[in-house]
Amino acid sequence: MNVLEVANLNKYFNEPVRNQVLRNVGFQVERGEFVAITGKSGCGKSTLLYLLSTMDTDFEGSITIDGEQMKGKTNRWLAAFRNRNIGFVFQFHYLLPEFTTLENVMLPARKLGEYPAGRTEQRAMQLLKLLDVDAHALKRAALLSGGQQQRVAIARALINDPLIIMGDEPTGNLDSANSATVFGLFKELATERKQTVLVVTHDEDFARRADRRIHMADGSIVDA
């Protein structure tokens, strides 16, 4: 069953001049697939990922996630959907600096409100341990190094067991050992928990070991 279906996706930016960034993009991803998106800088990978994550709603064409059409939904609906189904890791970590590491990871789960606080905390600690930042759980996020913060951001993306994990160069700031850990974690989530992983990467090694690679050039998919 396809978790993600994209058809005839076109994206334009109107500023500073009208410019088509995505051209007739279409592809499908099955549940549990580990997909790497590659391509030269500026070819539209981030733009595509933002559209798929439902944060950017300004597009032509169709995006269907888990059977739901994303076009025409309200902001509130999309926010709830994102909270439940999509774990997004930005290229830059984007943590909330005034909250502790643990609080940062727990926030999306508290918003989801599905589990009691104790259980959420346990789960967050578990993820922090997997990513080897559990020692900093009670420190304010701003006090961690860039690489540590990036791993906390990955833990945050995983806290609600999302249907799709999306990452925009999530290992860009990590050394090779930590990159390998993250790759292993994603791989495991895909095969064992049937969570779908969609990662933009420049790391050739990372891309090669994915189940499948989508290669883009100049706003179009050239090799899926």
User: Where do contacts with ligand ADP occur on this chain (CB under 6 A)?
Assistant: 13, 15, 21, 39, 41-47
190 with 33: CB under 8 angstroms? Answer: yes
Query: What is the nearest approach in angstroms of Mg ion to the Cβ of residue 166?
Result: 12
Partner in contact with 13, chosen from other proteins, Mg ion, ligand ADP, none, beta carbon below 5 to 8 Å by kind: ligand ADP
Of 63-82, which residues contact other proteins (CB under 8 A)? 75-76, 79-80, 82
Which CB, 10 or 46, lies closer to Mg ion?
46
d(CA 149, CA 30): 30
Task: Tell which one of 112, 125, 180, 224 touches other proteins (CB under 8 A).
Answer: 112
Which CB, 4 or 43, lies closer to ligand ADP?
43
Helix axes 101-112, 75-85, angle to 10 degrees: 120
Footprint on this chain of other proteins (rule: CB under 8 A): 46, 50, 53, 55-56, 75-76, 79-80, 82-84, 88, 90, 92, 94-99, 103, 107-108, 110-113, 156
